[in-house]
Structure 1
Amino acid sequence: MKTTALLALALALVAPAAHAGPGHDHGEAPPAATAHALPRFAASSDLFELVGVLDGKTLTLYLDRAATNEPRPAATVELELGGRPLKPQAQADGSYTVALPAPLEAGVHAVAATVTDGDDVDLLAAELDVHGEAHDAPAAGATGQRWGAAAGAVLGLGLLLGLGVAGRKALARRRAAGFGGAA
């Protein structure tokens, strides 16, 4: 009876170590891949809001009136980026674009924009934070999970083997005691 209980306990301890292999993992789903966000800046005042999005060597600007969020496609925008004066060109969709002579280096770049819209003139300032290329990091814990499963399986098998040896010795003692009794 004790041997059966010990065997059941050993099997219960070994069962959690039986993990699914590659392609059969039923654990937590891996996090969804995220797209690389483009560098951007935002500058605002009482009159205007200016948002810039950098995509390679193209800087796209979106200019709105602050009070109404109304696009200002007819405004004149003069831009200074990292000390270099640039002249954005108005686009049909209401945005403005600037073709940079070269991609910006990683780091923080000062942005200053002078906006003239009719009688309204305003100076907007911001910073554009450009990061270097993102590197893909290996999934954390992927290798550690496999080693943990293997270690659990080895420990479980060792426990099962130890219980088997102890059970055989106990059975041998019981048989020896039963056969060596008084006649």
Structure 2
Amino acid sequence: MKMTTDIKALTVAAMLATASFGAPAGDGHDHGGEKPVAAGAPAMPRFAASTGTFELVGVLDGRTLSLYLDRAADNSPVPDALLELEVGGAAVAVERTGEGMFEATLAAEPEPGEVPVTATVVAGDETDLLAGELDIHGAAHAGTEGGGTAWTAVAGWSAAAFAAAAFLYGLGRVRAARSGGAA
């Protein structure tokens, strides 16, 4: 009798664990039409460079380098700034996409490793030179082909737990029937 109660408890726990992952996002939490990123997927290669005046962050997606320029003092975007960029020693054309936001297209995807990045910032009468390294790792650079998401792992483990609980429940009923007891 004790084994049957334990199996029922396991079955209910597995069902609750599986059901709790389907909760929809509330208002303002749907993240619009953004491209979903698999949980546990490697982050895109990036770099950060700063001085006492400016902070520059770059995020590489394939050959596209998105750049974000802020003031170091208050993290506010730098309006009307000009940005000259060198990646791996080669000059790269930069286009402004918004206030403190820029985009550059590299001639080719960089090879894995550390790639030096140098940026000259001109904002009004302020000029500054920022330097950093774009850290590209082979696994992060390759993307997530063939990999599953965290959701698939959770669903798989939940299904396995449910199947094991159902099997044990059925096994308990068979043993009870053979011994003449009630399940």
TM bracket, shorter-chain basis: 0.5 to 0.7
Q: Given residue 21 of structure 2, which amino acid in structure 1 is its aligned partner?
A: P
1:67 alignment partner in structure 2: 73
- 1:74-116 CA-to-partner distances (Å, cap 9, x unmatched) read 3332222233321313345442221222334555433222223
Please say if residues 73 and 90 of structure 1, whose CA atoms lie closer than 8 Å, have aligned partners that are also in contact: no
Change (3 A) 1:93 1:69: same
State TM-score, norm by structure 1: 0.62
Paired letter, 2:169: A
CA distance in 2, matches of 1:105, 1:162: 67
Residues 1:148 and 2:148 are matched in the alignment: no
* Among 82, 89, 103, the residue aligned to 1:97: 103
Say which structure, 1 or 2, has more relative contact order (CA 8 Å, 6+ apart).
Answer: 2
Query: Equivalent of 1:136, from 148, 166, 169?
Result: 148
**Per-residue displacement from partner, 1:50-84 (whole Å, max 9, x unpaired)?**
12233343222221222243433433322222333
Q: 1:17 maps to which residue?
A: 7
Give ranges in structure 2 of 5+ residues lacking alignment: 24-35
Provide the aligned C-alpha RMSD in A. Answer: 3.4
The one-letter amino acid of 1:152's match is L
With structure 2 as the length reference, what TM-score do the two structures score? 0.62
* 1:144 to 1:44, Cα distance in 2 relative to 1, 3 A: same
Unaligned runs of 5+ in 1: 1-9, 168-183
2:6 & 2:57 partners in 1: Cα distance? 53
Identity of aligned residues (%): 39
Task: Tell me the matched-pair count.
Answer: 152
Instruction: Map 1:1-183 to 2 at 5 A.
Output: 10=1, 12-18=2-8, 19=11, 25-28=15-18, 29-30=20-21, 35=37, 38-130=44-136, 131=140, 132-134=142-144, 135-137=147-149, 138-139=152-153, 141-142=157-158, 144-164=160-180
Superposed CA deviations along residues 7-31 of structure 1, whole A, max 9, x for unmatched, are: xxx2x532443537xxx93225238
Q: Give runs of ≥4 in structure 1 deviating > 6 Å.
A: none
Q: Compare CA radii of gyration and give the structure with the larger one.
A: 1
